[in-house]
Amino acid sequence: MKIIIASDHAGYQLKENIIKHFAGDFEWENLGTYSSESVDYPDYAHPLAEKIASGENKYGILICGTGNGIGMTANKHAGVRAALCWNVEIAALARQHNDANVLVLPARFITDEEAFNVVKTFFSTAFEGGRHQRRVEKINIH
């Protein structure tokens, strides 16, 4: 499975740790940032979200300090369902009930080990469909 990943400066180290930890499990496309030097999170969220919205990529991960700004930015794109997850239960429900296609992590509020467990759960959990499908279809404003 190919996953695109991006972060701002606050999420840089966690992004690098995730890529390294899951090197044998996923194919990665790293959209930056490439250091902990201060950057603006929309400059990384928009390119990732565009790849999801266009169908070029199916799944992504975005990381910033709280996860809020980068997730809000990504969710401006139709077809992107970015979910801020800080534990495995929320990650599972984001996939099962919301068909989330972008995992958002709060780097300043989650340990590496917690993040690894959230990533594993997010990408191993299927969308349940059924009554949830109707709700997901109502997310985008046409």
**Active-site amino acid positions:** 64, 97
The residues facing 5 across adjacent strands are 30, 61
How far, rounded to the nearest angstrom, does the alpha carbon of residue 116 sit from its chain's CA centroid?
13
The residues facing 60 across adjacent strands are 4, 102
